Structure 1
């Protein structure tokens, strides 16, 4: 049995480019305000079965919250039909429906009445609501004196204690502290077990995978994917990594053009044998020069953003300005706060390079089959020197890449592991 039915729903908004004209201006000058039409949702069709928990996933501005507001009846679609069966409770905006001058207790009665409870039913559940919210000491104070976290506690407590058939939740649980967030998650799991239909929007991908039976990815007002949580979340993360990669590449190209313009403006500078003394992050005699360091996948596609456990190649482009024997190339990876994660070089790894000739150009590839790193931005140091440690060219933390991960591991590296219990 379907609890929610959405058929070919479209919703758009008018975004005005200037202030609203006065009535006089409209009548005398027949002036109309200029606006752009923004389509928040376009031909959305979904059905959600009774007792199912569904998460709406997507970037800010993709239309997730608009869809929830359509389900609650706060907004109406331009076209299409929406049908929601049963008693609906919603948490869309922090403290929505609360009057700031009323006490917490008075707002419980008012909010629960709006959600369809009689006064007798509210009195029966009052102590339970107050107990869950953990606001007993403040329940007789006006809610204007509440913090945002206290607002959320009270609103969530009312919403779940009215025992709705359908519960709609926007990104409000992020306001609470860690202990209360876990308490809310436990309560949602209990409601799910009882057969409550739950629809919620969240950027907490771990919570979404844990709670949901199904995830719907919405992008730019259309459904991009709909199905098993892990599969859809992985698709979404891959998309985010790809989008971030495009942004970083564009940013890199802009910075590269700026650097070229700066270099062209510098006259009478010996570029092949010396390094700008104003750059404290680079030094060496330039017998071998590192022209660039960049990152690709195993298909040699340039990237800056990777998924955890993905493959990566760090490519070091070099040029020989003087013939050298037995050069050694090195790589080091650091966190954004300069913690040294890992470092090695061709000498340590028994990868021998006999010589680099003058005017020789080439690439050294450092291949990583599995990126066992936690989420974050990482800095890379690249260097080339001789067997005695004399630096030819040293770039200290000059290059960076990003790692995105679904898991909530903390630290730097992802250590392969399993758990077991022996009783």
Structure 2
């Protein structure tokens, strides 16, 4: 352990799932011979090491075991089997506010949590100003926590957890608390920890942050350690897991998904929005669509700066003159960021006859900032100078843009920057 901060060796975590509470009681009392439970393997023989000073990311779909392994490392849970060794003081940002007494004031909870972490009152006195400055909730620190808004509560909980000068920082989706300004402060503190050579174990669904900060990434899937390596390779593998191709895993690899495969609908590769806003005149129908990355894989996770393709397949149920194929990207708040259509691009098909099917293919580079977006597609046109929507699918699928370099606003200008020293 000389150069290791964390060593996880062959860790398993198995939960017993009972159909009825009475079955749990009978099993605990040894009153039944036959097992009345099912075993759920949250972790299956997971092993990895974290060197001192490394920033390691853990990614995976919901239910893959990410939070479970962090709780075992921090001692919140005990493994069913296997060993965990820690060398260094840990601060864990898992369930913010756990251990807070809602009847106590903010100040009282600061000291209470400090004692739970093993600090004396004098040590907490020395840290109090930094904690209160970071939380920035004003005189509310002297009020009972039950009077706090949810935003104030998580700000104080985060401030306590992150200002105790740990040697190992463990973060589980906790950097997205509060408003945008507080989030910026959290990420600045995170970067300060990294610059100081602290050991960081980082779990997040924000793939852009994983790509930006992590030296190595561990990919979990359904309790198994699927792979471990650099951020780019693991994110590419994760993209395929997101597309529910985990049944194609063989020997730690996921087989390529050829976007030219016409045996099933393209859209079956995506988790579609169950509340999609769909409408139109019914004269045309969008029967399929796809997003395809630079490698030819169906995916809704695109690396910023790479080329990608959007396909829209439309079947015409009436004769339509000069139909227009469109797509638009919006933020999750509903702001249209960018998009185009075949009219803008000066690409037309003339008359589409009843029964005809056309595929519109849009190829471009992804220059939007890293983040979460919603894709809308449609087939529209003009009849007698009046606009007509034949079929629209608003917010049909979510799209994640992965980036390790974001600029201001929604779009990257892709500036080429030089700095030269000159004489006055």
Taking the aligned partners of 2:40 and 2:102, their CA distance within structure 1 comes to 33
Partner of 1:145: 147
User: Could you list the per-position Cα deviations for residues 81-129 of structure 1 after superposition, in whole angstroms to 9, with x for gaps in the alignment?
Assistant: 1101122222221211222333322222222222222232222222232
Alpha-carbon shift at residue 292 of structure 1 (Å): 4.3
Taking the aligned partners of 1:416 and 1:226, their CA distance within structure 2 comes to 33
Please report the RMSD computed on the Cα atoms of aligned residues, expressed in angstroms.
4.4
Taking the aligned partners of 1:195 and 1:302, their CA distance within structure 2 comes to 37
Q: Among 325, 333, 337, which residue is 1:331 paired with?
A: 325
Q: Does 1:170 align with 2:189?
A: no
Aligned to 2:111, the other structure's residue is in SS state helix
Q: Does 1:342 align with 2:340?
A: yes
Partner of 1:364: 358
User: Could you list the per-position Cα deviations for residues 350-396 of structure 1 after superposition, in whole angstroms to 9, with x for gaps in the alignment?
Assistant: x677x889x9x66434232226485533333336899x8899x9723
With 336-345 and 218-227 compared, the bigger mean Cα shift is at 336-345
Number of positions where the alignment pairs a residue of Structure 1 with one of Structure 2: 384
Change (3 A) 1:69 1:304: closer
Contact preservation (8 Å) 1:312, 1:368 = yes
With 368-377 and 38-47 compared, the bigger mean Cα shift is at 368-377
Partner of 1:281: 280
With 40-49 and 203-212 compared, the bigger mean Cα shift is at 203-212
Contact preservation (8 Å) 2:59, 2:220 = yes
TM-score normalised to the size of structure 1? 0.73
Taking the aligned partners of 2:271 and 2:8, their CA distance within structure 1 comes to 43
Taking the aligned partners of 1:8 and 1:213, their CA distance within structure 2 comes to 23
Contact preservation (8 Å) 2:208, 2:401 = no
Taking the aligned partners of 1:410 and 1:91, their CA distance within structure 2 comes to 28
Taking the aligned partners of 2:214 and 2:413, their CA distance within structure 1 comes to 26
Q: Does 1:396 align with 2:394?
A: no
* Structure whose alpha-carbon radius of gyration is higher: 1
Contact preservation (8 Å) 2:312, 2:377 = no
Alpha-carbon shift at residue 298 of structure 1 (Å): 9.4
User: Could you list the per-position Cα deviations for residues 199-218 of structure 1 after superposition, in whole angstroms to 9, with x for gaps in the alignment?
Assistant: 12222223333332222222
Contact preservation (8 Å) 2:323, 2:352 = no
Taking the aligned partners of 1:81 and 1:88, their CA distance within structure 2 comes to 17
Taking the aligned partners of 1:419 and 1:348, their CA distance within structure 2 comes to 30
5 Å-filtered alignment, 1:67-216, equals 67-216=69-218
Contact preservation (8 Å) 2:291, 2:300 = no
Taking the aligned partners of 1:25 and 1:223, their CA distance within structure 2 comes to 31
Q: Does 1:380 align with 2:377?
A: yes
Change (3 A) 1:217 1:348: same
Contact preservation (8 Å) 1:89, 1:167 = yes
Contact preservation (8 Å) 1:16, 1:33 = no
Aligned to 2:122, the other structure's residue is in SS state helix
Alpha-carbon shift at residue 170 of structure 1 (Å): 1.9
With 308-317 and 76-85 compared, the bigger mean Cα shift is at 308-317
Alpha-carbon shift at residue 42 of structure 1 (Å): 0.6
As a proportion of its length, which structure holds more helix? 1
Contact preservation (8 Å) 2:18, 2:24 = no
Change (3 A) 1:389 1:88: closer
Partner of 2:19: 17
Alpha-carbon shift at residue 173 of structure 1 (Å): 3.1
Taking the aligned partners of 2:157 and 2:271, their CA distance within structure 1 comes to 46
Taking the aligned partners of 1:47 and 1:207, their CA distance within structure 2 comes to 21
Contact preservation (8 Å) 1:115, 1:162 = no
Aligned to 1:62, the other structure's residue is in SS state coil
User: Could you list the per-position Cα deviations for residues 228-252 of structure 1 after superposition, in whole angstroms to 9, with x for gaps in the alignment?
Assistant: 2243234323432566998952899
Partner of 1:405: 401
Alpha-carbon shift at residue 14 of structure 1 (Å): 1.3
Taking the aligned partners of 2:282 and 2:327, their CA distance within structure 1 comes to 18
Unpaired runs of 5+ in structure 2? 247-263
Partner of 1:63: 65
Taking the aligned partners of 1:296 and 1:198, their CA distance within structure 2 comes to 34
